[in-house]
Amino acid sequence: MSGTTDLAELYSIIEKTAQVVDVTASHDKVWPILNAFQDVFGQAVISFRAATGRSTDELDCRFTMLPKGLDPYARALEHGLTPKTDHPAGSLLKEVHQNLPIESCGVDFGVVGGFAKTWSFPSASHLLTIDQLIELPSIPAAVAANRDFFRKYGLDDIVATVGIDYGNRTTNLYFGAGGGREVPAGCFEAQGVRAILAELGLPEPSEELLKLCERSFSIYTTMSWDSPKIQRVSYAAMTPEPRGLAVEMTPVFDRLLENAPYSTEGHNFVYGIASTPKGEYHKVASYYQWQSTVEGLLHSES
């Protein structure tokens, strides 16, 4: 996707999608991002995500499956989309791309808040390991602190994504990406979910979360540089019909499903539930531009 007309069309879709979920997109935040990444949008998986809890006043836009040679954080700095920082979050992406077998990447931005996150994806046949990650100088110490936890639940050698949140200064690690390297089934069973959350000091799972986990394909953890603890654990399920899940659909989610200003025919949605110390919150991702690859689908629920 390139050229002013295409950018204008994409911006119009973003603006209209935001209106559907009662959010007002900021042209001053969104347009510079579209301009900065216009040369790679044509091949990207593009999705929009709404959430309950702390994110009700935002619509997240995600562009994944971008070329592996791209450094999205360096480009964001170059175009003034985010301030330069001496925090380890600012150097982690470069270390990931220089030292690990990354095949593609992505960016996340809010239509209100602007540039927010980057994503780095290995291929399904060369997933990352916790041992590789802890060798990176800028990785949060929490990753090493929880190495035994990841190993205990069979997650230590199936890291499918490294996400970096620059505003919140956190790192997301996603696990499992198909190709015979799925998350162990026990992590999605009620007993396993309860054990994982209890071990991390997180609340007892709701029945909605346990039901969602019966259909989940992905689990991811969120860690910061400020604590050795895993801050939250999220689970996600992919479905062509989110209303078929055993969850209570909020009015905002209903509107996104019903009134998105683009066709979702033939597309799946990703529904996620995050467990945090303050309770659970829900999120749903709808696809505007789709690629039917495992890597492209995995990263829509964070």
Q: Record the pTM.
A: 0.93
State the Rg of the chain over Cα. 18
Average pLDDT rounded to a whole number, residues 79-107: 97
CA distance 42 to 4: 13
Asked if the model's pLDDT at residue 296 lies above 80, the reply is: no
Q: What is the pLDDT of residue 181?
A: 78
Q: For the packed helices 27-36 and 4-20, what is the interaxial angle rounded to 10 degrees?
A: 140
Instruction: Give per-residue pLDDT as tens, 100-158.
Output: 999 999 999 999 999 999 999 998 889 999 999 999 999 999 999 999 999 999 999 99
Q: What is the pLDDT of residue 70?
A: 95
Using pLDDT thresholds of 50, 70 and 90, give the confidence band for residue 179: low
**185 Cβ contact partners less than 8 Å away, ≥ 6 residues apart:** none
CA distance 144 to 158: 15
Asked if the model's pLDDT at residue 185 lies above 70, the reply is: yes
CA distance 55 to 242: 19
**136 Cβ contact partners less than 8 Å away, ≥ 6 residues apart:** 92, 95, 96, 99
Using pLDDT thresholds of 50, 70 and 90, give the confidence band for residue 45: very high
Question: 191-195: which pairs have CB atoms within 8 A and are 24 or more residues apart?
Answer: 192/153, 193/235
